[in-house]
């Protein structure tokens, strides 16, 4: 079956992979471990809040969340397809994965670009 | 239809044995491939965490402190540590594969793979340092 949308999905996967590879380890290390566990001196709440409210930071966080979701969708789809050989559910898996990424992008857009 | 080829009316079914669902468990190269694919779950978790942090930050100091408490619970910290190792695995394998996906030429000279990989790692460290500097310096 010809899938003209496949190059777009692969492009999003690739772009999300770059964003995730470059930026996610430091984010998870800082905000998931080092700051809450007190390994590093935490930034002040007000400082972090105003940093996150900056328009450039909002745009950055939106990209940080949306593109990697498409990376996840593409990889997870093929993990289920190749790894677990769930081939008969191909359409359902694609719908859940890419639909999840699109939904997540809307949520991220609302959180970072629309609200406040 | 090629008349010179013998034709059987009832085509025999190919004998194909379905590989085990756990085909990837018994060889390191396959396991590595599946672990790399599973790193995408850590990526998705990191997105969820970033959204939760943003929501808590916007909601005020008390919800933010609650989230920090939750992040300190052992199972969340353990999950984050496991996810961080998967993310590192993704970064390292991604940067190492980059020269195969993208050949860089400068005026006919093909940039060697090792140089592209080194450039990727340098960009990774620079981006990480910039994020850490901005985040940890916030409010100081």
**Dist CA B87 CA B85 (whole Å):** 5
pLDDT tens string for chain A (116 positions)?
566 788 898 899 999 999 999 999 999 999 999 999 999 999 999 999 999 999 999 999 999 999 999 999 999 998 888 777 777 788 888 999 999 999 999 999 999 998 76
Which candidate, A41, A5, A13, A20, places its Cα nearest to that of A101? A13
Q: Does A81 touch chain B (CB under 8 A)?
A: no
- Which residues is B106 bridged to in the sheet? B109
The tally of CA atoms less than 13 A away on the side-chain side of residue B41 is 13
pLDDT tens by residue, B86-120: 999 999 999 998 888 877 888 888 888 889 899 99
Quote the minimal CA–CA distance from B69 to chain A in Å. Answer: 7
| Predicted ipTM > 0.90 | yes
Provide the whole-model pTM. 0.87
Asked if the Cβ–Cβ distance from B40 to A21 is below 8 Å, we say no
Q: Does A110 touch chain B (CB under 8 A)?
A: no
Domains and CATH numbers, chain A: 10-34+45-114 (1.20.1300.10)
pLDDT of residue A116: 63
pLDDT tens by residue, B5-43: 666 667 667 777 777 878 888 889 888 988 999 999 999
Q: Does B136 touch chain A (CB under 8 A)?
A: yes
- B 19-38 residues inside an 8 A Cβ radius of A: 19, 21, 24, 34, 37-38
Tokens of B60: 């005020």
pLDDT of residue B5: 64
Tokens of A88: 């008969």
Asked if the Cβ–Cβ distance from B39 to A68 is below 8 Å, we say no
Q: Does B43 touch chain A (CB under 8 A)?
A: yes
Tokens of B29: 């190269």
Residues of A in contact with B34 (CB under 8 A): 79, 83
Asked if the Cβ–Cβ distance from A72 to B44 is below 8 Å, we say yes
SS3 content of chain A, % helix, strand, coil (to 5): 80, 0, 20
Which candidate, B16, B94, B51, B89, places its Cα nearest to that of A110? B51
Q: Does A103 touch chain B (CB under 8 A)?
A: no
Helices assigned H by DSSP within chain A: 6-27, 45-53, 55-78, 90-109
Residues of A in contact with B54 (CB under 8 A): 52, 61, 111-112
């Amino acid at each position: 079956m010809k899938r003209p949308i496949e190059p777009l999905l692969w492009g999003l996967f690739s772009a999300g992979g770059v964003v995730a590879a470059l930026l996610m380890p430091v984010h998870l290390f800082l905000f998931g471990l080092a700051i809450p566990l007190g390994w590093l001196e935490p930034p002040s709440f007000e400082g972090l809040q105003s940093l996150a409210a900056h328009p450039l930071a909002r745009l950055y966080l939106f990209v940080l969340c949306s593109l990697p979701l498409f990376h996840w969708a593409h990889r997870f789809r093929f993990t289920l397809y190749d790894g677990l050989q769930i081939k008969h559910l191909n359409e359902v898996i694609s719908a859940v994965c890419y639909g999840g990424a699109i939904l997540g992008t809307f949520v991220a857009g609302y959180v970072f670009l629309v609200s406040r | 239809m090629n008349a010179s080829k013998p034709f059987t009316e009832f085509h025999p079914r190919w004998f194909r044995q379905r590989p085990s669902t756990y085909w990837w468990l018994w060889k390191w190269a396959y396991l590595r491939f599946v672990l790399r694919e599973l790193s995408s779950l850590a990526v998705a978790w990191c997105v969820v965490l970033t959204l939760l942090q943003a929501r808590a930050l916007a909601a005020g100091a008390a919800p933010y402190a609650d989230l920090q408490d939750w992040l300190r619970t052992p199972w969340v910290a353990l999950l984050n540590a496991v996810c961080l190792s998967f993310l590192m695995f993704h970064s390292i394998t991604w940067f190492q594969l980059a020269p195969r996906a993208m050949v860089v030429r400068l005026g006919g000279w093909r940039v060697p793979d090792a140089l592209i990989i080194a450039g990727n790692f340098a960009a990774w460290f620079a981006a990480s340092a910039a994020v850490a500097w901005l985040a940890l310096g916030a409010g100081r």
